[in-house]
A and B are shown apart, each in its own frame.
Chain A
Amino acid sequence: MSAQDNIPQPEDLADDIDENGTSIDDFFRELEEKERDLQITADLSIEIAELDLDSSAQLFIENDVAIERNGEPDPAPVRKVEPAHAKAANPVQEAPVAKGRQTELENEVASLKLKIAEMRAERSDLVDKKDQQLKDFENFKYRVDRERRGSFIDQIANLATQMLPVLDNLNRAIDSVPAHAEEHDPAFTHFFQGIVLVNQQVNEVFAGMGVEPIRAVGSEFDPHLHEAVAVVEDASKKTGTVVEEMLRGYKIGNKVIRHSMVKVVTANQPVRPANEDERPAEPSAEDAGEPDTSEDLGSDLIERS
């Protein structure tokens, strides 16, 4: 049956999409073509089913190969079925009831019936495949759409993530200047003031992009916003309170682009040893004595050293 040759094999389908997956339009166009092909196949099969066969031949087809295997000869006269594409011109032909011809015809019917069964199986495979791919594609479209909508914020977030270390270092630079340093050197004072202005400017640029700092010190620790890197025991504060911001976190709207790196108050929980994370490097007495200056990012850095 030549129609069979036109049916795209499932592997081809998959391959095509794989290779041409670069453009959505291409993909869609292709899908439509495949669908048309499938339509043709489906129509053909229906024609076969509707052929003017007598009841026993019909039964043959419907009951599949099983009858043949049982070796039951078909007593009724059989009509020869032309391949589907030729049907329109010459649908059925009367078969001579000659005895010798009967076996031949039976064989032919059997082989045709097999082919039909094969084609049916193939058709239902292809229809399933088509449905699945259509679904895949719909979902793909939906996903691309969603990603496109998110991509603007993603790009800002991406840019900001790369720029934040620069801002951090600028802050560190400013914080590293000891108090009253400017009293000694007027030239340095001017330079320092300039740097402070640059810092302010960078902050404004970030704010303009919708990047805002995450609240940390004094609020309750929230792993959605904060990353705990150290803990401290402090009976005077509620467990879970952020007491120090080691690195400022930022977000755009509700999207966190960097989590605040924080120190958190813990209850005196019995912690088993051997996990390095559990041995706070800093002696807690130092932390307890330290005033809560952490809003001022980095200032404690100097004190600690």
Chain B
Amino acid sequence: MGKVIGIDLGTTNCCVSVLEGGAVQIISNKEGGRTTPSVVGFTDKDERLVGQIAKRQAVTNAANTLFAIKRLIGRKFDAPEVEKMRSSVPFEIVKAPNGDAHIRVLDRIYSPPEISAIILQRLKLSAEEFLGDKVTEAIITVPAYFDDMQRQATRDAGKIAGLEVERIINEPTAAALAYGFGKAKHEKIVVYDLGGGTFDVSIMEIQDGVFDVLATSGNTFLGGEDFDERIIDWLIEGFKAENNVDLRNDRLALQRLKEAAERAKCELSSVMETTISLPFIAADATGPKHINAVLKREKFEELVRDLVESSVEPCQKALWDAKLKESDIDKVILVGGQTRSPIIARTVTEVFGKEPSAEINPDEVVAMGAAIQGGVLTGDVKDIVLLDVLPLSLGVETRGGLFAKIINRNQTIPLQSTMTFTTVVDNQPSVEIHILQGEREIASANRSLGKFELVGIPPAPRGVPQVDVTFEIDANGLVNVSARDKMTGLEQAMQITPASGLSPDEIERLIIEAETSVEKDKASKELIVERNRLDSLIRNARRALAEVGKGLPVEDQQAINQILKEADERLNSDSMDEIRDNLAAVEGAANRITAAMLAMA
């Protein structure tokens, strides 16, 4: 088994890491960033841009720049979360024939796993460059509340990207692993995760290698960006009061404010006050105007107090759901960049009565945990056993639309369980087995995995026939459900392949497509490299011509100038041949200049 990389596939940012020489390493992307924005841009030149670069062109290409795809993955078009997103994003979310939420970009329909795969593919490439070796296996993290379909869709995304997803693990589990939990101690921990755009709190019980998520809660629309916004508002209000100029109408000023606000926020995590200085931010008839504001930590905390407060209720709800008191909690872990603000740690301490742990970089801790899980699988990490568990309960619908759980969640798989059911009316000839997954009492509130009918039950008064319903889960999470009439021995069975809405054939096709696009990316990368070379060559030649050109005959100077001008005009050509031709021409011109220079010397 080669290296297994750990991937935190976040709503706003991704992070990838690997275990090397016994230590977890975060893998930087091509641009040097330790995290990569979860943004994919499709250009009319058939390019796929990922990460920071996609972000930079988002404004010019809003309809074809996709972000927060994690909110769509494994969801139906009609789901409330999808509905909410549809009204707030500039790209088009469409209904797939099977009811899933898909995305239309440049007249092509993409499923969310395909988009996630594009991001994963980029992370995979970074990892391969970092390790100097092929990478084919990965651990990917998902929120604890993700259901089977969302998990499977995430797995498919990995597959499309050419990654065998060895495990899908919960983000809070990964964070706990990074902190060294899971070493056969019995503990209850809280993971408080305030990221760029979402807030999750999870309460877990860890025992003998099983990470049992007792409760989760959160707010899918609360994050660090809201905190920045508060500082920006404060600066704008202050500036308006003083100068009667509204900076909101000034794009550049807003951009500068945004950067300054983020920096100030970060600084206030370690110092008590910071100076925000933005000279020449605007001007009016009386001359230029500057911002030179001192932001004290106290003031900042006052500005964001309600945001922080709004995270308290989900925490209490999670405790309530887990039927625990704060004194039952052994440890609290902070995840997500925004938790660096001391007000968060203070609030968390108040809520859980415990100082939270934040020794590990909260932006990277989840990816690190995933890499550790990878190490467990390859045998590089020996003191942790992490068992595969069923994330959600399985069962069938019974009379009155109730949900009868046949297998409870958090049981280690593989496993098998049987429950006996009977008919509800006299002479009922058949029973419908409606297979559900979830934790709710009401059947319709859970996710339907499929249904089948067992027919041919001999006439009998209600309550007499006995039908055994057996659930069998193998090591790969494949579920087999069978129903058997005890009297006749009649049996019906159904296999539930973890479905993400994509068929195996589709996935196969997408894998091939994804591979071709990597080739294409490579070609376009080469083009860029050559183009950059041509660009600097032209500039250097111009500079040299200006300095020593007088030593050349006038017609030569003109000829060289002509070559440079033509090459410059066609610099943005997408034809590799053309760029190469121009490179040759400019190189020739440069040689003539050099010759002249030597002649002069």
Contacts and interface: CB of A to CB of B under 8 A. Distances in A.
Contacts of B536: 253-254
B282 A301 contact: yes
- Residue of B22, B248, B287 contacting most chain A CB atoms (<10 Å): B22
Given A21-B23, A269-B63, A282 B249 contact: yes
Contact of B288 (A138, A172, A269, A282): A172
A223 B56 contact: yes
A17 to B, nearest CB: 5
B54 A139 contact: no
Interface string A34-64: 0000000000000000000000000000000
B59 interface: yes
A172 B58 contact: no
A278 B90 contact: yes
B53 interface: yes
Contacts of A94: none
Contacts of B400: none
- Residue of A11, A136, A138, A175 contacting most chain B CB atoms (<10 Å): A136
A238 B62 CA distance: 18
A247 B85 CA distance: 32
Contact of A15 (B22, B53, B251, B539): B22
A301 B23 CA distance: 51
Given A176-B283, A305-B282, A220 B572 contact: yes
Interface stretch (A75-83, A102-110, A227-235): A227-235
A228 B58 contact: yes
Interface in A85-123: none
Contacts of B249: 281-282
B60 interface: yes
B205 to A, nearest CB: 27
Interface in B538-555: 539
A247 B252 contact: yes
A277 B251 CA distance: 10
A18 B25 CA distance: 12
A172 B90 contact: no
A137 B131 CA distance: 10
B382 interface: yes
A10 B532 CA distance: 48
Contacts of A211: none
A271 B62 contact: yes
Contacts of B383: 11
Contacts of A144: none
Contacts of B22: 13-15, 17-18
A253 B536 CA distance: 8
A272 B60 contact: no
B380 interface: yes
Interface string B48-81: 0100011011111011000000000000000000
B528 interface: yes
A79 B133 CA distance: 48
Contacts of B59: 228-231, 264, 277-278
A221 interface: yes
Nearest to A272: B90
Interface residues of B, number: 51
Contacts of A136: 20-21
B251 A282 contact: yes
Nearest to B532: A254
B62 A278 contact: yes
Contacts of A139: 20, 131-133
B252 A229 contact: yes
Given A247-B252, A281-B250, A282-B251, A169 B56 contact: no
B96 interface: no
Contacts of B284: 305
A246 B280 contact: no
A229 B87 CA distance: 22
A66 interface: no
Interface in B362-390: 379-380, 382-383
Nearest to A17: B21
B130 A143 contact: yes
Contacts of B379: 125
Contact of B255 (A138, A173, A229, A298): A229
Contacts of B53: 223-224
B245 A305 contact: yes
A143 B60 CA distance: 36
Given A14-B21, A17-B21, A230 B283 contact: no
Given A18-B21, A139-B133, A272-B63, A305 B382 contact: no
Given A137-B21, A277-B62, 20 more contacts: A13-B22, A14-B22, A18-B23, A139-B132, A139-B133, A172-B280, A176-B287, A223-B56, A226-B56, A228-B59, A228-B60, A259-B56, A264-B60, A272-B91, A272-B92, A274-B88, A275-B89, A277-B90, A301-B283, A305-B282
6 contacts: A139-B132, A142-B132, A220-B572, A228-B56, A246-B252, A272-B63
In the A-B complex, the 10 residue pairs with the closest CB atoms:
A14-B22, A172-B280, A176-B288, A223-B57, A227-B56, A228-B59, A275-B90, A246-B252, A228-B60, A254-B532
